[in-house]
Structure 1
Amino acid sequence: MTSAAGGIQGSTGRHVSEMLLARGVRVRAFVRQIDQRSDRLKSLGAEFFVGDFLDARSVEQAAKDVSSIYFAYPVQDGLADAAAGMAFAARRHGVSRLVNLVMYRSSIDAPTPRMRQNYLAEQVFEWAGVGPLHLRAAVFYETVARLIGASLPVRGAIRLPLGNESTILPMISAEDVARIAVGLLTGPERAAGTAYPVLGSVNSVADIVGAFARVFNRDIHYEEVTDEEWRSEVLARGWNSHAVEHLSSLWKALRAAALSRGTTRFAVTEAIEEIGGAKPKTFEQFVRERQSELAVTALGANAKG
């Protein structure tokens, strides 16, 4: 289980680990270091292996005696090396199933560099013959909430380069992604190389603004900024350049697409309920569930709830 301790981009590895442990499935958690996040998984019964995604030797050792792998590489540099190292390790130890988390659109001509890299990683796992299943997730609610949190305390506005308020975002909860991953890891055998695009809800910018305004009973508005302004703001807050380039390209693609809510390509995915076992969360449900956390990180200590 890679990225098992969780991070800032969805923490699907942590969710998958906790769900598997709750089912009594043995989990080997591959983590960078032992800390408070990993201590929680240890208390739930996880076995730990401390290593580095980009150290093929430690990845190879971690894959020994496991039958299935969940591969979720963070949105940062190094995906090609990480995928190659994991493919080598999985093939060497006879892994028969590997669930590979990638972006919603994964192709050689996808609009962002990360999406194109994801597609090449898919090919590597398929060439390795390790039973890959590709879980193609839409934009995480968690990512959007983090972006909103970067601007609301100071500006009282959602500042993004998304054109007008009618721009559509395909989105999903990281927990819904994790449920599908658990279903793919523990369910019946499926055809290697199958891709599962997963989308939990379709939201306009106006929908996102409205959800925050209702949950926090606060006057919140959308403020369009240029790509350059947005990039400068998030880089100044410590976002890595790889993630910023991916998101900047994604915003441009969504603006240019001018998609409508009813676009077939953005239909809510039945696999969330069929494989994950639960209906997908709406964005407003997510905000309500995280209200206490977001009141501190996004809206400031004085936000009304």
Structure 2
Amino acid sequence: MARPVLVTSAAGGRQGKTGRHLSEMLLARKIPVRAFVHRIDDRSERLRALGAEIVEGDFLDIRSVQRAVQGTSAIYFAYPVQDGLLDATTAMALAAREAGITRLVNLVMLQSSPDAPTPRMRQNYLSEQVFEWANLGAVHIRATVFYENLASLVRQSLPAQGAVRLPWGSQSTVLPLVAGEDVARVAAGLMTAPSLIAGTTYPLIGTTISLKEIIATFARVLGRSVTYEDISDEEWKRQALARGFNQHAVEHLSSLWRAIRGAAIDPSDPHYAVADAIEAIGGAPPKTFESFVRESQGEWLAKSA
């Protein structure tokens, strides 16, 4: 029997649920999956029903990481936006090196460098370096803001108030976005490719879209008036913490919003071009933002009622 692929964050969480999408995609291709989950629940049981091997563990517990990695053929590493990334990276790199892993797909953020604008992005850069030093054949997916993240933020006010309340400046602000599903399709393509060039990075942008276009898309799909209310960073931080966001995520996102406001992104800038890799490696054109909103409009309308 073929050795399974280890997929971390496989149950799906607050971000783009790439681990869950990837698990389902690999299983559909008859590729065995070992799903690394934080706890056994309905989400992990649904994966088990699809044929995944479920392993409960903790990124920060080296013994559970070693047990999860042993006997696998490749690793998808996607650590949630919370404290502990570098500890988790080190544990995974050690376990993978011990197990002889030669293919690891590492999910990080679009800008990953020592001078990136958020603390999480700077940690992502260090995480990349650890995997490189471990000589695991690592490649790095650098994904921009997920549609799913934007939707999670907007759902806090749009259904009940008909307004998007975020600290994004004017409606001319442009955001680079991507569907979590598209990121997972690229990861699946990399996992199943005949060979990879270690150290390669894959910047993934599915669309660059203005806040004005985002508002218009919600209004068009939902068939209701939608407005935008610009709020301060401090107000957004208070609301996010009250809704259960962890401090690490709040600091990352607050820094990201400031960076996006100040960047004055030009959609024609090649740095923000739609990634060819989404179709070339993932096998389909990137999902549009409108398609994403339409797919979930039943949930939006139910909450708006």
Tell me which interval the TM-score lies in, with the shorter structure as reference length. over 0.9
**How many angstroms apart in 2 are the aligned matches of 1:229 and 1:204?**
22
Task: Specify the code of the residue in structure 2 equivalent to 1:45.
Answer: G
Query: How far did residue 153 of structure 1 move?
Result: 3.6
Tell me if structure 1 keeps the 8 A contact 2:160–2:304: no
Task: Specify the code of the residue in structure 1 equivalent to 2:128.
Answer: E
Deviation string, structure 1 residues 279-298 (Cα, Å, up to 9, x no partner): 001111000011122334xx
Structure 2: gaps spanning 5 or more residues = 1-6
1:111 to 106, 117, 120: 117
Runs of 4+ in 1 over 4 A off after TM superposition: none
| Mapped pair 1:205 → 2:211 | yes
| Mapped pair 1:36 → 2:42 | yes
The percentage of aligned residue pairs carrying the same residue is 61
Give the equivalent residue in structure 1 for 2:242: 236
Task: Specify the code of the residue in structure 2 equivalent to 1:192.
Answer: A
**How many angstroms apart in 1 are the aligned matches of 2:296 and 2:87?**
35
Give the equivalent residue in structure 2 for 1:150: 156
Structure 1: gaps spanning 5 or more residues = none
Query: How far did residue 193 of structure 1 move?
Result: 0.8
**How many angstroms apart in 2 are the aligned matches of 1:203 and 1:244?**
23
**How many angstroms apart in 2 are the aligned matches of 1:31 and 1:19?**
17
Task: Specify the code of the residue in structure 1 equivalent to 2:41.
Answer: D
Partner SS, residue 203 of structure 1: strand
Deviation string, structure 1 residues 97-152 (Cα, Å, up to 9, x no partner): 00000001100100000000000000000000111010000100000001000122
| Mapped pair 1:286 → 2:299 | no
Deviation string, structure 1 residues 143-199 (Cα, Å, up to 9, x no partner): 000100012244321111111101110000000000000000111211111100000
Query: How far did residue 232 of structure 1 move?
Result: 1.0
Partner SS, residue 106 of structure 1: coil
Partner SS, residue 8 of structure 2: coil
Task: Specify the code of the residue in structure 2 equivalent to 1:249.
Answer: S
2:70 to 64, 82, 85: 64
Give the equivalent residue in structure 2 for 1:79: 85
Range that drifts further, 113-122 or 152-161? 152-161
Give the equivalent residue in structure 2 for 1:11: 17
Query: How far did residue 237 of structure 1 move?
Result: 1.2
Partner SS, residue 110 of structure 1: coil
| TM-score (ref. length: structure 1) | 0.96
Task: Specify the code of the residue in structure 2 equivalent to 1:271.
Answer: A
| 1:258-277 paired onto structure 2 within 5 Å | 258-277=264-283
**How many angstroms apart in 1 are the aligned matches of 2:61 and 2:36?**
12
Task: Specify the code of the residue in structure 2 equivalent to 1:138.
Answer: T
**How many angstroms apart in 2 are the aligned matches of 1:295 and 1:69?**
38
**How many angstroms apart in 2 are the aligned matches of 1:71 and 1:14?**
12
Q: How many residues are treated as equivalent by the alignment?
A: 299
Query: How far did residue 233 of structure 1 move?
Result: 1.2
Give the equivalent residue in structure 2 for 1:20: 26
| Mapped pair 1:219 → 2:228 | no
**How many angstroms apart in 2 are the aligned matches of 1:118 and 1:37?**
27
2:197 to 173, 191, 204: 191
Deviation string, structure 1 residues 16-61 (Cα, Å, up to 9, x no partner): 0000000000101111111110111111111111111110110011
RMSD over equivalenced CA pairs, Å: 0.9
Query: How far did residue 229 of structure 1 move?
Result: 1.1
